[in-house]
A and B are shown apart, each in its own frame.
Chain A
């Protein structure tokens, strides 16, 4: 890889080898943080119509069980409902088959948590609507979810749209307990504090701006648009509130909400967001990561993006550590979990019409990029993205790989 002047720098070498961000992460981790690790299990699941309750129970056993952590407790599941209208999908497919977690996975998880003795189960997502107040259940109806069946899967099942205050009178401020990169704390819907066991239920997808979206990226949806969007929109700023505060740093959060650590730091989305996501995961630690890759949209996070296609990876990935779980998920997607910004999936092609010009190719690079969120998590001490240090259970990675890049580009064997 040469820059326009025909030179090949040491930075290039590190980037190509995938060690650029990784080296930073390892250095920080080695200095003063013991990086936690925890088993991650992979299963091949051909269909949502199989016995997912039994499958999930088996996977929980494989990672050491979670019974004591949930018995008598409130379990909160933050599900991934990209776009949150339920209307965005490909013709003839449900959102659960493409960009959303599937209702059968959520229903099975609810049933399993109930069997393990959870006292209360809460299903959470921020629906990103201009007008707040529509029950989250209605959003789920828009993808044909049998909401009553999920409610009946446990004695107490609640739903809350966390894009605003919800049923509380004030937001909860959660401090980043790991080493913060961008924000020291976040103000969030109370649901993210009022729980004993927190589950990130993500979809296994590519992402236009971040390369992949897995259990860590899923947590971006816990930031309430209605709180962070209180300030007026400056001229030229993104119409999407969370983008102008978080992605681009065009404005600071409103007064009274935790402010950015360094407003002069890099505004480039590909630098900022992986670090910000790590901060969010540090503020609201994930006790259990579930990644639904049974069916998914390939090539982007939603069906509206050109080149995306429906795929059937037939995979479920479960782990107690979000960094390790995401690393394993990347591996079964066919990616190097320690990939740097110059390689797939982190070398990007964002649409020029949807992003400010300065958010396309930044001055210090020759193409668009995102840093590796899992590596940022490792650098902050949240977990390890080193497969050699992760206790892998279930199906070996080499037997589970569904190459997302190959399928996206139509190069996968038929």
Chain B
């Protein structure tokens, strides 16, 4: 315990900067202000000033973390003196706090995300969750015999900011569950699959052991570096556009933002690929590339919105709506109503239960409409993107053991499929056409992060 305290107290020793060598980390977040007394704050500011100077000499940017209770004017002055590249606000701050920090770049770690999706900020920092997979029974939840593991993931959250084809950095802030090396690398991958990045945060125990140069701790640190490097080596993947024949209409001013987020979370959880359409941009043109639309956020739809959706269904599309669409079923969870060449599925409950909707998509969407079918990933999540005829299917396994035999089917005829993982060289996979315009491939074993590039 004493050793750990000593290690943590000396964490801003210049020697710790050596840990960054060989990693792609080029920015450090250091504790700058915690709202402590003036003397303690001044000491911290001076400590960071020295450390930041050494980091800058190595080409590493330094941001100071500010916690609630800090004096904004004092923080601003100290930040200028330390020549910090910016300040990160972690917590709930009084209104106007950021403005009092002056011209220094300020990056708040955001918790309420709905309105941020249309933000024009060049980068965003978001509070996320600890990636994990757990048995429902271990969580004290009584479920059916065939209940699946519960997965906490940030993939849907990062993906929810891809409203168009443009990419911008989304930084996920969360403390990992420090029980194993696998937990850290999953944090890296979980943020990266949809194009985000994890603000690498290591727990006190790992920090203390790194300071002592403990071999196991160094191995863990190297694995984090390897996963970060894998992400940077394939930076072009971030610019692939989200894939999905299902459009989810998003009302960022909706009355149930948490429920809306759950639709996105659980669709992703069930490997249902989708793209987002803002309610404000709903039009015939914006729906033209979809085959199905989830419109439960339109509660109720306006007359113009209803016409757009009816026209979409008439031409053969599927609209999934809540009871405000009209004529909801009395007993069954939802009812399908033919409309022209297509149909509308109207749910009984208001709002429809996100878990039920996500599960029902497996029945409502034919495989060819789903576009992507993944088999044998119950403790994993997939994320599909595409660009110029190439398709990238990324997978992350949240279980502590590898999965054997993951089968993927995807619309289209492809000639090659190559598997990329941080652990191994690229592997060409055997693929074959299924005879109905789809391609099937098998991943023999998936340890944690895998990416299949179809060309």
**Chain A contacts to B: CB under 8 angstroms:** 82-92, 99, 129-131, 138, 141-146, 208, 232-233, 235, 239, 300-308, 351, 353-354
A-B contact pairs, 13 of them (CB 8 A): A84-B146, A87-B148, A88-B147, A90-B135, A143-B376, A232-B331, A300-B145, A303-B135, A304-B144, A305-B137, A306-B140, A306-B142, A354-B144
Note all chain A residues with C-beta closer than 8 A to B331: 232-233, 235
B12-20, B84-92, B315-323, B401-409 - interface stretch: B401-409
Give Cα A110–Cα B211 distance, bound, in whole angstroms: 58
Q: Which of B325-354 contact A (CB under 8 A)?
A: 331-333
Give the Cβ gap from A149 to chain B, nearest Cβ, in Å: 10
Indicate if the CB atoms of B379 and A91 lie closer than 8 Å: yes
Indicate if the CB atoms of B135 and A302 lie closer than 8 Å: no
Give Cα A320–Cα B375 distance, bound, in whole angstroms: 35
Indicate if the CB atoms of A83 and B142 lie closer than 8 Å: no
**Chain B contacts to A: CB under 8 angstroms:** 133-137, 140-149, 331-333, 360, 363, 373, 375-376, 378-379, 398-401, 403-407
Indicate if the CB atoms of B363 and A129 lie closer than 8 Å: yes
Q: Which residue of B lies closest to A134 (CB)?
A: B367
Give Cα A306–Cα B143 distance, bound, in whole angstroms: 8
Q: Which residue of B lies closest to A131 (CB)?
A: B363
Note all chain B residues with C-beta closer than 8 A to A138: 373, 375
**One of A239, A308, A354 near B137 (C-beta < 8 A):** A308
Indicate if the CB atoms of B136 and A304 lie closer than 8 Å: yes
List 9 additional contacts besides A86-B378, A303-B145, A354-B144; criterion CB under 8 Å: A91-B133, A130-B360, A141-B407, A232-B331, A304-B144, A304-B147, A305-B144, A305-B145, A306-B141
Indicate if the CB atoms of A144 and B145 lie closer than 8 Å: no
Indicate if the CB atoms of B376 and A142 lie closer than 8 Å: yes
Give Cα A302–Cα B376 distance, bound, in whole angstroms: 17
Give the Cβ gap from A162 to chain B, nearest Cβ, in Å: 18
Given contacts A90-B149, A92-B400, contact A144 B143 (CB under 8 A): no
Give the Cβ gap from A370 to chain B, nearest Cβ, in Å: 16
Indicate if the CB atoms of A302 and B147 lie closer than 8 Å: yes
Note all chain B residues with C-beta closer than 8 A to A307: 137
Give the Cβ gap from A212 to chain B, nearest Cβ, in Å: 14
Q: Which residue of B lies closest to A139 (CB)?
A: B375
**One of A142, A239, A351 near B142 (C-beta < 8 A):** A351
Indicate if the CB atoms of B363 and A83 lie closer than 8 Å: no
Indicate if the CB atoms of B376 and A303 lie closer than 8 Å: no
Indicate if the CB atoms of A82 and B145 lie closer than 8 Å: yes
Give Cα A235–Cα B144 distance, bound, in whole angstroms: 22
Query: Which 3 pairs, one residue from A and one from B, show the smallest C-beta to C-beta distance?
Result: A83-B146, A302-B145, A304-B147
**Chain B interface SS verdict (over half):** loop
Indicate if the CB atoms of A91 and B145 lie closer than 8 Å: no
Q: Which residue of A lies closest to B397 (CB)?
A: A92
The A-B contact count (CB < 8 A) is 101
Indicate if the CB atoms of B376 and A82 lie closer than 8 Å: no
Q: Which residue of A lies closest to B399 (CB)?
A: A92
Indicate if the CB atoms of B376 and A88 lie closer than 8 Å: no
**Chain A interface SS verdict (over half):** loop
Note all chain B residues with C-beta closer than 8 A to A301: 145
Indicate if the CB atoms of B144 and A144 lie closer than 8 Å: no
Note all chain A residues with C-beta closer than 8 A to B146: 82-85, 87-88, 99, 302-304
Give Cα A144–Cα B143 distance, bound, in whole angstroms: 23
Note all chain B residues with C-beta closer than 8 A to A82: 145-146
Give Cα A354–Cα B141 distance, bound, in whole angstroms: 13
Note all chain A residues with C-beta closer than 8 A to B379: 91-92
Indicate if the CB atoms of B405 and A86 lie closer than 8 Å: no
Note all chain A residues with C-beta closer than 8 A to B399: 91-92
Indicate if the CB atoms of B406 and A144 lie closer than 8 Å: yes
**One of A83, A92, A305 near B401 (C-beta < 8 A):** A92
Given contacts A129-B363, A303-B137, A305-B137, contact A146 B405 (CB under 8 A): yes
Q: Which residue of A lies closest to B151 (CB)?
A: A91
Given contacts A142-B376, A235-B331, contact A88 B137 (CB under 8 A): no
Give Cα A240–Cα B62 distance, bound, in whole angstroms: 58
Indicate if the CB atoms of A89 and B378 lie closer than 8 Å: yes
Note all chain B residues with C-beta closer than 8 A to A83: 144-146
Note all chain A residues with C-beta closer than 8 A to B148: 85, 87-89, 304
Note all chain A residues with C-beta closer than 8 A to B398: 91
Give the Cβ gap from A413 to chain B, nearest Cβ, in Å: 23
Give the Cβ gap from B398 to chain A, nearest Cβ, in Å: 7
Give Cα A86–Cα B403 distance, bound, in whole angstroms: 14
Give the Cβ gap from A351 to chain B, nearest Cβ, in Å: 5
Give the Cβ gap from A192 to chain B, nearest Cβ, in Å: 23
Q: Which residue of B lies closest to A351 (CB)?
A: B142
Indicate if the CB atoms of A86 and B145 lie closer than 8 Å: no
**One of B144, B332, B333 near A302 (C-beta < 8 A):** B144
Give the Cβ gap from A196 to chain B, nearest Cβ, in Å: 32
Note all chain B residues with C-beta closer than 8 A to A302: 144-147
Indicate if the CB atoms of B363 and A88 lie closer than 8 Å: no
Give Cα A142–Cα B399 distance, bound, in whole angstroms: 16
Indicate if the CB atoms of A144 and B136 lie closer than 8 Å: no
Note all chain A residues with C-beta closer than 8 A to B401: 92
Q: Which residue of B lies closest to A353 (CB)?
A: B142
Give Cα A302–Cα B378 distance, bound, in whole angstroms: 14
Residue in B143, B144, B363 with the greatest tally of chain A CB atoms within 10 Å: B144
**One of B133, B140, B145 near A99 (C-beta < 8 A):** B145
Note all chain A residues with C-beta closer than 8 A to B141: 306
Note all chain B residues with C-beta closer than 8 A to A145: 405
Note all chain B residues with C-beta closer than 8 A to A304: 136-137, 142-148
Give the Cβ gap from B395 to chain A, nearest Cβ, in Å: 14
Q: Which residue of A lies closest to B333 (CB)?
A: A239
Note all chain A residues with C-beta closer than 8 A to B147: 88, 302-304
Give Cα A24–Cα B149 distance, bound, in whole angstroms: 43
Note all chain A residues with C-beta closer than 8 A to B145: 82-83, 88, 99, 208, 300-305
Give the Cβ gap from B409 to chain A, nearest Cβ, in Å: 9
Give Cα A35–Cα B272 distance, bound, in whole angstroms: 53
Give Cα A274–Cα B149 distance, bound, in whole angstroms: 31
Given contacts A91-B149, A303-B147, A304-B147, contact A144 B405 (CB under 8 A): yes
Q: Which residue of A lies closest to B149 (CB)?
A: A91
Residue in A82, A86, A208, A306 with the greatest tally of chain B CB atoms within 10 Å: A306
Note all chain B residues with C-beta closer than 8 A to A300: 145
Note all chain A residues with C-beta closer than 8 A to B144: 83, 88, 302, 304-305, 354
Note all chain B residues with C-beta closer than 8 A to A233: 331-332
**One of B137, B333, B375 near A141 (C-beta < 8 A):** B375
Give the Cβ gap from A143 to chain B, nearest Cβ, in Å: 6
Give the Cβ gap from A279 to chain B, nearest Cβ, in Å: 23
Give Cα A92–Cα B447 distance, bound, in whole angstroms: 11
Indicate if the CB atoms of B407 and A305 lie closer than 8 Å: no
Q: Which residue of B lies closest to A130 (CB)?
A: B363
Note all chain B residues with C-beta closer than 8 A to A353: 142
**One of A131, A144, A239, A305 near B376 (C-beta < 8 A):** A144
Give the Cβ gap from B253 to chain A, nearest Cβ, in Å: 34
**One of A88, A141, A208 near B378 (C-beta < 8 A):** A88
Q: Which residue of B lies closest to A239 (CB)?
A: B333
Q: Which residue of A lies closest to B143 (CB)?
A: A304
Q: Which residue of A lies closest to B402 (CB)?
A: A92
Q: Which residue of B lies closest to A100 (CB)?
A: B146
Note all chain B residues with C-beta closer than 8 A to A130: 360, 363
Q: Which residue of A lies closest to B403 (CB)?
A: A144
Given contacts A129-B363, A304-B137, contact A87 B378 (CB under 8 A): yes
Residue in B143, B378, B407 with the greatest tally of chain A CB atoms within 10 Å: B378
Note all chain A residues with C-beta closer than 8 A to B143: 304-305
Q: Which residue of B lies closest to A82 (CB)?
A: B145
